[in-house]
Chain A
Amino acid sequence: QKEVEQDPGPLSVPEGAIVSLNCTYSNSAFQYFMWYRQYSRKGPELLMYTYSSGNKEDGRFTAQVDKSSKYISLFIRDSQPSDSATYLCAMSLLNRDDKIIFGKGTRLHILP
């Protein structure tokens, strides 16, 4: 079983819809959870991070962590064409020297 699983998509939704992106993971020791956004021909950029369980909201974006189910989600409200990108989930252990493990990314298309 891979450490982090993410549906590659592509996921196409109409402008204004709520988008739900998800990852599952196998290592229950993961404590830090992140979402990166990667536009075509660009490097990833950090979008949101959460520590341990719970929700975190930033504007139109909400990150959710369910450690009991080993499942994390990113919700995008009022989606815009500019949200079209690949979204990568990422996570790491508590030890400060542990590397970040990335999902393969979900390609998202917001249709105008």
Chain B
Amino acid sequence: DSGVTQTPKHLITATGQRVTLRCSPRSGDLSVYWYQQSLDQGLQFLIQYYNGEERAKGNILERFSAQQFPDLHSELNLSSLELGDSALYFCASSVGASGRAEADTQYFGPGTRLTVL
């Protein structure tokens, strides 16, 4: 158990809908990272928040947004869902801002499996 929690575990919804995924980082970790994992694209970095502020942006679509709250939990909002958004969404957390293995390991949660029908 990494100490990172994600809810819900599974989510099934329809095209055009909006969903919110939630992540609680490990105690003491200030950074939260969101990733999308699909069979064809692999694990893709979406966005990082550090202590409430957006730190880095990856391949995140405009239909997706995220935020980190004062208690450091984070939410990823996915709107106008398409079939291609079906994937595993992982949250990771680390103590610092770099997320680099040698000093600041990222710990991954168990993921949320999103199915868009």
Residues of A at the B interface (CB closer than 8 Å) are: 32, 34, 41-46, 49, 51, 88, 92, 96-97, 99-105
- Scoring A41, A42, A43 by chain B CB atoms within 10 A of each residue's CB, the highest score goes to A43
Cβ–Cβ contact B42 & A103, under 8 A = yes
Which stretch in B14-22, B65-73, B91-99 binds the other chain?
B91-99
Quick one: closest B residue to A2, CB to CB? B42
Cβ–Cβ contact B100 & A102, under 8 A = no
Residues 43-71 of chain B, each 1 if its beta carbon lies under 8 Å from chain A, else 0: 11100100000011010000000000000
How many A-B pairs with Cβ below 8 Å? 56
Residues of B at the A interface (CB closer than 8 Å) are: 2, 4, 41-45, 48, 55-56, 58, 90, 92, 97-102, 105-111
